[in-house]
């Protein structure tokens, strides 16, 4: 069955009537288009990375070190992208990465994105820094495959409360982010002196938590200057547990039955440690180049981590995925599921639910086409289709034919 790419026929048909799509198909154009829909400081907060932006750029460049090698006339006519993990079935190995503060991009926060992934049969990892509360997102998108991402807070009682609320609201897993107990050095945010959290954004799940709200004064009007100051102080008090160890996973295990994944792994030894301490899944990620500038590109880390994990638990991947061909490379290098990050927020900012759908359908269509045109047929088969880029391969003696010019 061809599920996603035939949609492009409708685009070409509309073109005959003089209509062109509202949103670009090219992901680089998408980032630029989002600039027209977001204040400059918000766009920078989303788009830019840590330090000199070297890791942000390296995440993209790393894809150039690999190539897909298609096989022809294989007779393969259908692509099965179905993916099963943690007891749920996704129509494709693609989910939305946790991105906090979606309310900066859209008045309805994360809700439109959750509804779109539900309708497409995909999944979404909701950030604990969501603009709506985790309960509101679940209520707005009944039946959606939602996972909950936790930045371990300093207060253990708050962690327990948020995790148990997520479990009660029907979230399927807990994704513990381990690479951002504090924010990276981000020059663009400093130049704008812009910290959305200090302005009260990204607090939906915190403000719905009795444990978070307990010390907040009850007689101060919400939204007032005094309220915002109290909120910022409380948030600073709880955010970011700086002296955690992998034992934290064992602590979480005692308070939830949900699978626990660890997000932010780049070193194979950390993948080992996470699994030894009970992790049920690993997310290879460098937080989209927002944390440690000049850290390794996530795609460069993926093959070694996947080899070390060796199928013991699922491996997920993000940081730099923009297209279906990118997703094919990451899946071919050992990821079981790929997470789409910044592009879905751009889609949301530009055109709400339609924008998120547009972005996801473009990736899905190209992924489906790529799998088919490689002669692969299934996601698993992608593993035999990815090779180091031809011109990056070490030359063997006498191997000079690619330097020859036609005579």
In the annotated binding site for glyoxylate, the residues are 186, 263, 287, 290
366, 124 contact by CB (below 8 A): no
Q: Smallest gap, in angstroms, from Cβ of residue 239 to ligand FMN?
A: 11
Q: Smallest gap, in angstroms, from Cβ of residue 36 to ligand FMN?
A: 18
Query: 370: which residues sit within 8 A by CB, 6+ positions away?
Result: 68, 324, 325, 328
Copy the structure tokens of residue 333. 């290098």
Query: Looking at beta carbons only, is 234 or 287 nearer to ligand FMN?
Result: 287
Which residues are annotated binding-site positions for FMN?
98-100, 127, 149, 177, 285, 318-322, 341-342
Q: Count the helix, strand and coil residues of the chain and give each as a percent rounded to the nearest 5.
A: 45, 10, 40
253, exposed or middle or buried, with CB in 10 Å at 0-12, 13-18, 19+? middle
Query: Looking at beta carbons only, is 106 or 263 nearer to ligand FMN?
Result: 263
148 beta partners:
126, 174
In the complex, the residues that contact ligand FMN under the rule CB under 6 A are: 46, 59, 97-100, 127, 129, 149, 177, 263, 285, 287-288, 290, 318-321, 341-342
Q: Smallest gap, in angstroms, from Cβ of residue 209 to ligand FMN?
A: 16
Q: Smallest gap, in angstroms, from Cβ of residue 99 to ligand FMN?
A: 4
Angle at 236 (CA atoms; ends 232, 238), nearest 5 degrees: 120
Q: Smallest gap, in angstroms, from Cβ of residue 102 to ligand FMN?
A: 9
Q: Which of 287, 358, 391, 401 is catalytic?
A: 287
85 beta partners:
88
Verify whether residue 287 is a known catalytic residue.
yes
Query: Looking at beta carbons only, is 30 or 79 nearer to ligand FMN?
Result: 30
Q: Smallest gap, in angstroms, from Cβ of residue 299 to ligand FMN?
A: 10
Q: Which residues of 164-199 are buried (b: 16+ CB within 10 A; e: fewer)?
A: ebbbebbbbbbbbbbbbbeebebebbeeeebebbee
Please tell me the distance from the alpha carbon of residue 253 to that of residue 271, in angstroms, as a whole number: 17
316 beta partners:
283, 337
Query: Looking at beta carbons only, is 80 or 195 nearer to ligand FMN?
Result: 195
**Which of 259, 252, 308, 249 has the alpha carbon at shortest distance from 284?**
308
One-letter-per-residue 3-state SS of 184-197: CCCHHHHHHCCCHH
Query: 139: which residues sit within 8 A by CB, 6+ positions away?
Result: none
Catalytic site residues? 287
């Amino acid at each position: 069955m061809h599920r996603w790419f035939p949609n492009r026929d409708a685009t070409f048909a509309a073109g005959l009537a003089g209509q062109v799509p509202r949103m670009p198909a090219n992901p680089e154009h998408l980032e630029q288009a989002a600039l027209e829909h977001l204040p400059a400081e918000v766009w920078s907060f989303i788009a830019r990375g840590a330090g000199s932006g070297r890791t942000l750029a390296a995440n993209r460049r790393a894809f150039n070190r690999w190539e897909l090698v298609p096989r022809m006339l294989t007779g393969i006519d259908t692509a099965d992208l179905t993916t099963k993990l943690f007891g749920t079935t996704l129509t494709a190995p693609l989910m939305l990465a946790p991105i906090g503060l979606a309310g900066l991009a859209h008045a309805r926060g994360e809700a439109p994105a959750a509804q779109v992934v539900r309708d497409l049969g995909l999944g979404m990892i909701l950030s604990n820094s969501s603009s709506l509360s985790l309960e509101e997102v679940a209520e707005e998108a009944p039946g959606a495959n939602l996972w909950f991402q936790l930045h371990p807070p300093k207060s253990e009682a708050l962690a327990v409360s948020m995790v148990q609320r997520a479990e009660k609201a029907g979230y399927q897993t807990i994704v513990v982010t381990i690479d951002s107990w504090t924010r990276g050095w981000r020059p663009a945010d400093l130049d704008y002196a812009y910290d959305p959290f200090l302005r009260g954004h990204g607090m939906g799940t915190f403000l719905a938590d009795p444990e978070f709200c307990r010390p907040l004064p009850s007689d101060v009007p919400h939204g007032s200057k005094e309220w915002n100051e109290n909120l910022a102080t409380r948030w600073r008090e709880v955010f970011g547990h700086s002296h955690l160890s992998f034992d934290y996973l064992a602590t979480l295990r005692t308070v939830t039955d949900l699978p626990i994944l660890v997000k932010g792994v780049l070193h194979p030894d950390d993948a080992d440690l996470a699994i030894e301490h009970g992790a049920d899944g690993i997310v290879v990620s460098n937080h989209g180049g927002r944390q440690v500038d000049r850290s390794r590109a996530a795609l460069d880390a993926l093959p070694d981590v996947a080899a070390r994990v060796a199928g013991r638990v699922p491996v997920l991947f993000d940081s730099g995925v923009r297209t279906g061909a990118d997703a094919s490379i990451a899946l071919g290098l050992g990821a079981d599921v790929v997470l789409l990050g910044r592009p879905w927020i751009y889609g949301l900012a530009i055109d709400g639910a339609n924008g998120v759908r547009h972005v996801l359908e473009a990736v899905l269509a190209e992924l489906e086409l790529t799998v088919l045109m490689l002669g692969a047929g299934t996601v698993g088969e992608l593993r035999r289709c990815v090779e180091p880029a031809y011109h990056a391969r070490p030359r063997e003696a006498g191997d000079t034919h690619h330097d020859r010019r036609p005579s």
